[in-house]
Structure 1
Amino acid sequence: MDKNNKNNDDEKLHISRSVFENARDIRQKKTEEEALRQQELQKKLAERERKKREERDKRLEEERKELIRLKQGIIQESEIIHEEQPEEIKLSFFQKIGNFFYHSKWWLGMGLAVAFIVVFLTISLVNKPRPDMIILFIAENQTVCEESALDKYIASFSDDNNNNGETLVSLYYIPYTDNPQKNYANGVDTKLTAELQSADSVIVFGNNKIEDVLNPDDVFVDLSKIYPDNPNVDSYKFMVENTDIAEKIGVDKKDVKDGLFIALRQPRKLMYSSKDKMQETYDRDFKVFDKIVNDLSE
């Protein structure tokens, strides 16, 4: 009886103690009870995790052994190891489009860049005016070739061969010198080989260094047979240094130097063209060459 009364007394507020003391005891008791519950819960969770680990380790060990048996050919298929099929995710039409662009953005970017370059080059090629004549300038003289009106001077004797409504002459500048390193830096050898194996041009400007790189007798026409009485003709060369070409193309006379001359290539079979094709170019451009010679001989 006394013991029951004591327990009942423990569960009641002691009137003789302050309200604050009673509240503190109640909180402490609840805290202790909560701590015990948490401790018990942690034990259960730990036990559950331990069992999961044991089951997982056991399954992995069984799968490892089964895999070894598969590799050794002891068994043909396994009831333990199953190939997991990924769950198919159904996407809407717009999600599929977005997914495609997301995963292909690098390839699409590269493709668009390549397409842009191709379109740009195609448009440039189509819109680029085709010259009626091509003249080779094999000499280091940028003033005469690129900073003068030489192309317009030659165009004044040319016809509109491509029927595009204008006469255009292109000068291909190949600045050959006696300095191999300079020639290499300017790509002279490559340009020279390519152009001399093409039938697109037969009129050539050169200077006294040209015989260092090619054999004139094999390349050029002997002009002395065409213009036997012309004082400016020296074998395959029509010397322009002593003519008024400087005035006609708008440069100082001192810029026409180093034995600058104009010559004609012989029609022959080339690496990139036939002799007949080069003969066509020769027959067309000789008319212009003849007019230049006559104009500078007056």
Structure 2
Amino acid sequence: MQDNKNLIPDEDFEYEKELARKARLEEEDKEKARELEEQERIKAERERERAREQQLAKERVELMKIKSGVIEHSDAISETPDEIRKVQGFEKVTNFIYHYKILLIFIIAVLAAAAYMIYDTVTRKKPDLTVIMIANNGLEFRTEELSDFFEKYVDDRNGDGEVYVQVIACPLNPNSTDMSQTSNQAKALAQLQTADNLFMIVDSNTDPDFLDVLYHEFPGDYPDNKYMTENGLSLNFKFFANEVKYESMPYDVVLGMRAPIKTVQDSEEKMQENFDRDVKVFKEIADDLAKKAEESGDTGLETPPAKLKKDDSSSASDSSK
């Protein structure tokens, strides 16, 4: 077989060879550019999706706060509707989910909260007192010890022959929009929709919206108790931390009570009745702890408030296990 190179002048052969090389390099450069462009597109889409998820999480919480009466309006919720266009077939379904995903998430969260409340009501014994624990500092791992503490001050209200105090642990991180906070937010907000369960344990990291639901007149009601703060009774006692087996408990933990208001499910009058009943327990606890602190010369705790990182609600809790 005759060599094709011998049929082409050397200068033409080298020229064609160089053109082919340049064409190959140009194609490789274009392919790299396309790959880089695709990577940038994927990265940008991921960033947009992450931003959307964070906004959805924030709006979902704000909607639940509005629903439960914690706040009346939120600027964080977008009021500008997406542009409506005609769609057909399966695209109608995806379009509906896209435009109403906030509502769908809210409905799912409400249903989850309702399901939790129904399940909890059916499967557990009725408590004589319930405490909502939303402080996020590791104290949520001492619910049994907290129950034992509160049971010393409570009578058998439901007549079942035993005293039982339920501590609902739903630690919240106001700096986080992580989806793991959804269940705790739903659980806490579900409790605020009723006139029951007035006791709350909070700390300096607690979202101001939740602090707003507390009764703030205790310092004036009990002027002789120096441990009263605007949000309730300070639990800054070494003997209390030892009793609940949490020696490294931060010194900013406070026991408060919800102020009587009209809720989604109950009237203000009913909540006032519950408040008048439960405040007697609160006063007994406050007087007892203040007396013990004075008698023992308790100098208070030394552990500073927990530092909650953004989108890392478990940082303080994990370090306290």
TM-score where L is the length of structure 1: 0.52
> Which of 266, 274, 285 is 1:273 aligned to?
266
Q: Is the 8 A contact 1:144 1:150 kept in 2?
A: no
Whole-Å Cα distance in 2 between the matches of residues 124 and 185 of structure 1? 19
Once the two structures are superposed, what CA deviation does each residue of 1:191-213 show, in whole Å capped at 9, x if it has no partner? 22221121111111100022433
Q: How many residue pairs were aligned?
A: 174
The answer as to 2:187 corresponding to 1:194 is no
- Give ranges in structure 2 of 5+ residues lacking alignment: 1-117, 292-321
The answer as to 2:168 corresponding to 1:172 is yes
The answer as to 2:124 corresponding to 1:128 is yes
The answer as to 2:137 corresponding to 1:141 is yes
The answer as to 2:278 corresponding to 1:296 is no
Question: Are residues 222 and 230 of structure 1, via their aligned partners in 2, closer, same or farther at CA, if it must alter by over 3 Å?
Answer: same
- Give ranges in structure 1 of 5+ residues lacking alignment: 1-121
The answer as to 2:225 corresponding to 1:230 is yes
Question: Are residues 275 and 249 of structure 1, via their aligned partners in 2, closer, same or farther at CA, if it must alter by over 3 Å?
Answer: same
Deviation at 1:246, TM superposition (A): 1.1
Deviation at 1:141, TM superposition (A): 3.4
Whole-Å Cα distance in 1 between the matches of residues 177 and 131 of structure 2? 25
Whole-Å Cα distance in 2 between the matches of residues 125 and 219 of structure 1? 25
Q: Is the 8 A contact 2:174 2:206 kept in 1?
A: no
Q: Is the 8 A contact 1:203 1:262 kept in 2?
A: yes
> Which of 220, 240, 243 is 1:248 aligned to?
243
Give the stretch that moved more between structures: 122-131 or 234-243: 122-131
Whole-Å Cα distance in 2 between the matches of residues 144 and 215 of structure 1? 18
Deviation at 1:173, TM superposition (A): 1.1
Question: Are residues 184 and 282 of structure 1, via their aligned partners in 2, closer, same or farther at CA, if it must alter by over 3 Å?
Answer: same
Question: Are residues 147 and 123 of structure 1, via their aligned partners in 2, closer, same or farther at CA, if it must alter by over 3 Å?
Answer: closer
Whole-Å Cα distance in 1 between the matches of residues 152 and 283 of structure 2? 13
Equivalent residue for 1:150? 146
SS of the residue corresponding to residue 204 of structure 1 reads strand
Question: Are residues 222 and 164 of structure 1, via their aligned partners in 2, closer, same or farther at CA, if it must alter by over 3 Å?
Answer: same
Whole-Å Cα distance in 2 between the matches of residues 289 and 275 of structure 1? 20
Q: Is the 8 A contact 1:137 1:145 kept in 2?
A: no
SS of the residue corresponding to residue 149 of structure 1 reads helix
Question: Are residues 125 and 143 of structure 1, via their aligned partners in 2, closer, same or farther at CA, if it must alter by over 3 Å?
Answer: closer
Question: Are residues 166 and 215 of structure 1, via their aligned partners in 2, closer, same or farther at CA, if it must alter by over 3 Å?
Answer: closer
Q: Is the 8 A contact 2:135 2:172 kept in 1?
A: yes
Deviation at 1:132, TM superposition (A): 0.6
Q: Is the 8 A contact 1:148 1:250 kept in 2?
A: no
| AA of the residue aligned to 2:272 | Q
| AA of the residue aligned to 2:216 | V
Whole-Å Cα distance in 1 between the matches of residues 245 and 228 of structure 2? 23
| AA of the residue aligned to 2:225 | N
| AA of the residue aligned to 2:226 | P
Question: Are residues 201 and 193 of structure 1, via their aligned partners in 2, closer, same or farther at CA, if it must alter by over 3 Å?
Answer: same
Question: Are residues 243 and 225 of structure 1, via their aligned partners in 2, closer, same or farther at CA, if it must alter by over 3 Å?
Answer: farther
Whole-Å Cα distance in 1 between the matches of residues 233 and 195 of structure 2? 21
RMSD over aligned CA atoms reads: 2.6
Question: Are residues 127 and 138 of structure 1, via their aligned partners in 2, closer, same or farther at CA, if it must alter by over 3 Å?
Answer: closer
Whole-Å Cα distance in 1 between the matches of residues 181 and 119 of structure 2? 30
Deviation at 1:258, TM superposition (A): 5.6
Question: Are residues 183 and 219 of structure 1, via their aligned partners in 2, closer, same or farther at CA, if it must alter by over 3 Å?
Answer: farther
Whole-Å Cα distance in 2 between the matches of residues 125 and 247 of structure 1? 32
**Mapping for residues 72-87 of structure 1, pairs under 5 Å:** none
SS of the residue corresponding to residue 245 of structure 1 reads helix
Question: Are residues 193 and 184 of structure 1, via their aligned partners in 2, closer, same or farther at CA, if it must alter by over 3 Å?
Answer: same
SS of the residue corresponding to residue 180 of structure 1 reads coil
| AA of the residue aligned to 1:203 | F
Q: Is the 8 A contact 1:183 1:189 kept in 2?
A: no
Identity of aligned residues (%): 25
Once the two structures are superposed, what CA deviation does each residue of 1:180-227 show, in whole Å capped at 9, x if it has no partner? 2346445233222221121111111100022433353x5323211111
Equivalent residue for 1:205? 201
**Mapping for residues 30-49 of structure 1, pairs under 5 Å:** none
Deviation at 1:280, TM superposition (A): 2.3
Whole-Å Cα distance in 1 between the matches of residues 120 and 224 of structure 2? 47
